[in-house]
Structures are given as structure tokens and as C-alpha cells.
Structure 1
């Protein structure tokens, strides 16, 4: 039986909420831009749509997936955080993306901490990694600020990925 129990998680400044169709235009723009190069992009509309649908469908199929990041004070979506897994991922992955105007404000860190806590405490995961392109310096720094450590023995999502293992 397929069920979709998608949480809504609040932090001091953010609301992590289920995806909605009105999130699609900004998501497509982000994935179609050069900013998505560390995720295998840029993606055409078909590729971006597939990722958007995958992010939503994981909730029904795997009991985790992506949540959009809204800033409470302004009610604006600034990106996404999620747990990825399935046949394409060696391990459960904590991933994030921010829209360009949202970077440098601590939103990704705050969202990732909340999602990681949910994954361990509510979903019951015992391990969590982040797969990061070696050229993605900002994500490497964020993983390290989150307390994740480089696991050189773990297999990446893409060949050459760095694998950062998160503390429970």
C-alpha cells in the first residue's frame, strides 16, 4: 500500500513543507541554470521535471523525500532540503539546494539540521551521508559546519563524489 505522510517541520526562521505546483517555476529555473552543475545539470525541462517528481514521489514510496524551505518572516520559498534514496543512491542522502538570493544567510544549515534531526529521530534512519561534487566548495563547507566528516571508503552517487557522513 502506498501512503504519503509528508511532515511539516518548523525551525526558528523556517518552515519546511511539502512541495506544491507553484514551486515548479523557481525549481525549473534553478535546475536549468549553471548553478545546478554540481548536481549533474544544467537540466532541460524534462530532466528538471523528472527530478521534481522524484523529490515528491519518494514520500509515498520510501517515507522520505524533499521539503521546500519557506522563510517565515517573508513567506517566500528559498530552496529545498531532503532525504534521497532508492535504487540510484548507495545510502540515504541529506541534500539541499538554495536559490541564488538566499545564499549566505544560514537557511541551508538551519534546514539541513532540522531535516537531519527528523531523519534520525522520527524516520529512524541510522546513517546519513551527503554526496558532494569535489568542486562544490560551498556545500563541502556546509557539510563540515554540520559536523559531517569525509568518508573516503564510502561509495558516492556519482563517480568522484565526496561522501560526507553525518553524526547522529
Structure 2
């Protein structure tokens, strides 16, 4: 297995997860902001997702990276690629923690990981499953070049599926 990459942009470091990332991740998944991901979730589910996001690297050669602001050193969210038996096809997703939305972190991180996926993996296509009410994520997917795929199978029948490539 190749090492988990560190990707950098002008403002961000996309880096492997550490246990120090758990408290903010847990807070996100247990809070109202996770409603677009089926939440809020109980702590056991949140821990399972945290471990799942990390395990993807050893199982598939891709997974989640934490988004760290280079200037402050703060972890502001996560971006990742999920695959496996729970997903109809590889999923590309992002989340930004409370207080960090609207600053371009999600777009910058997502664009960097999307570029990495196109050049460093054998993935033929990525999709994002987005709640119809999540207009910010829908706009972000479109800004990243994704288009609505009305024929793709969704994780949740109420989700919209955006295809990136």
C-alpha cells in the first residue's frame, strides 16, 4: 500500500487523520450539521465512521484527509473518497466544521483531492450524494465541475447524485 498522501494548496494541508482529530469529528457527526449525512449520530456510529474513513486507505488506496489551515494549524474539516460494499460507486465528499463555512475551504480541499484522484488512482468516476436541501454542497459540486446524474443510484433515495468524472 502506498503511503497516505499529504496534499497542499495555497492555504491548506490535506493530511492523514490522527486520533487528535476525533473530538471535532465526533462533534460534527453528533451535531445538527450532520443532518445531510443522516445525522445527528450516536457516538458509536460516529466512531465507526471515523475508523471507516481511515481504513479506506489500506483497503482501497484512497480515503479521507483532514483539512488543516496552514496559517492557524487548525483542522477545519475533512474531504474524502469512500468506496466498498456500502456504496453503489465511489463517493466523493466533504464536510467543514462549525465556524469555518463560507471561507472557501471545502472548494479548495475538494479541488485538490479531485485532482489527485484523477491522476493517482484508477477510479473511473466519482459521485457525490447530496441532500436536496443542501444548496451549499450542490453549488460546490457544480463549481467543481460535477453535473446532476438523474440515472445514478443514490445511497438514500432522497439524495441527488452529482457525477464528477
Q: Who is 1:106 aligned against?
A: 104
CA deviation map 1:141-168 (0-9, x unaligned): 111111110000000111221000114x
Residues 5 and 60 in structure 1, CA contact (< 8 A), matched pair in contact too: no
> Equivalent residues in 2 for 1:34-73 (5 A)?
34-73=32-71
The aligned counterpart of 2:133 is: 135
Residue matched to 2:92:
94
Question: Residue 99 of structure 2: SS of its match in structure 1?
Answer: helix
**1:22 equivalent in structure 2:** 20
Q: Is the 1:30–1:99 contact (alpha carbons within 8 Å) kept by the matching residues of 2? A: yes
- Measured after TM superposition, the shift of residue 9 of structure 1 is 0.5
Aligned-pair Cα RMSD in Å: 0.9
* TM norm structure 2: 0.97
Hey, what's the Cα distance between the residues in 1 that align with 2:158 and 2:42?
Answer: 23
The count of aligned residue pairs is 165
Determine the structure 2 residue equivalent to 1:9: 7
Q: Which runs of 5+ in 2 are unaligned?
A: none
Unaligned runs of 5+ residues in structure 1 are: none
User: After the TM superposition, which parts of structure 1 deviate over 4 Å for at least 4 consecutive aligned residues?
Assistant: none
Between the aligned partners of 1:102 and 1:116, the Cα distance in structure 2 is: 21
**Deviation at residue 128 of structure 1 after TM alignment:** 1.0
Residues 104-149 of structure 1 show CA distances to partners (whole Å, capped at 9, x for unaligned) of: 0100000000011111101132211111011111111111111110
Among 79, 100, 118, the alignment partner of 2:77 is: 79
